[in-house]
Amino acid sequence: MDVIHSVGALRERLQREPNNVFVPTMGNLHDGHIQLVRLAKPRAACTVVSIFVNRLQFGPREDFDRYPRTLESDCNKCREAGANVVFAPDEREIYPEPQTFVVEPSELQHVLDGALRPGHFRGVATVVLKLFNMVRPHAALFGKKDYQQYLVLRDMVRQLAMPIEIIPADTVRAADGLALSSRNSYLSATERNEAPQLFVALQRVCAAVRSGALHGKAERDAMQALAGRGWQPDYVAVRRQHDLQAPTGDDRRLVVLAAARLGRTRLIDNIELELER
């Protein structure tokens, strides 16, 4: 496996194997990331993993400075999973000058997480487009734990006519149901024991929706239940899978999404569900 830090060296390396599949990450890799690498392997001769903590997608009071940087451990995990190239640039390599050209996503960037984190999905889309131009993959994999991010990037590739297949991968969970996330490392032992309750809340909303309950009531009940356990919920929302708009009576392919703070740690999760007609 090659560990590469410059765009020039990356392009030179990939000239030998232009048929590549790409897994973009911010590092501090866990089993969810490694599952993406393993899913990527059969799809191309060369699997590329990027590790870059992207300042553009962090708000001014978010955790950019304390986000875990664990490059040596990440490279070992990528090597064990069979990656061919790890691209680990520094900030000057990705942004050698102020980034004045940016990707402005659709209205999808302004709902749910986008409403609470203004500019977040602009930063995500901009860095991913730059990485796509550097790696030039024919396919890229993204986990569906970050469901809204996956939709934003799927739409970007489609609207910009990029010859890249966006492949979603199911959320990987711990044995107790907690969705794996690099930010789980922020949780204290007590908080880690409580954290699976976010998934429990989503499961209860899914059960309520399947039984015919009003979506608004199911959402409010889940928010109140989390708050009663000491969480600070940002939202629990039932939306359409394809565009995250509020569903109508005819919509059957739904997704229930949630974001909530537990102590200082903000966690997100979602469950897709399909209603019978």
> Residue 266's pLDDT is what?
96
Residue 251: predicted pLDDT: 87
187-204 pLDDT, tens per residue?
999 999 999 999 999 999
DSSP state of 24: E
Report the DSSP pairing between strands 165-169 and 232-240.
unpaired
pLDDT at 66 (0 to 100):
86
- Give the model's pLDDT for residue 16: 85
pLDDT at position 207 over 80: yes
Segment (H or E) for 169: strand 165-169
Q: Which residues are catalytic?
A: 33
On whether the CB atoms of residues 103 and 130 are closer than 8 A, the answer is: no
Per the CB < 8 A criterion, the answer to whether 14 and 46 are in contact is: yes
Q: What is the pLDDT of residues 127-175, one digit of tens each?
A: 999 999 999 999 999 999 999 999 999 999 999 999 999 999 999 999 9
- Per-residue pLDDT of 28-82, as tens digits, reads 999 999 999 999 999 999 999 999 999 999 988 888 888 989 999 999 999 999 9
Mean residue pLDDT across the chain: 95
What domains can be seen in the chain, in order of their start residue?
2-169 (3.40.50.620), 182-270 (3.30.1300.10)
Structure tokens at 102: 């940016």
CB 68 within 8 A of CB 27: yes
Q: Name the token pair of 101.
A: 């050209």
The dihedral formed by the CA atoms of 148, 266, 32 and 138, expressed in degrees to the nearest 10: 30
CB 155 within 8 A of CB 105: yes
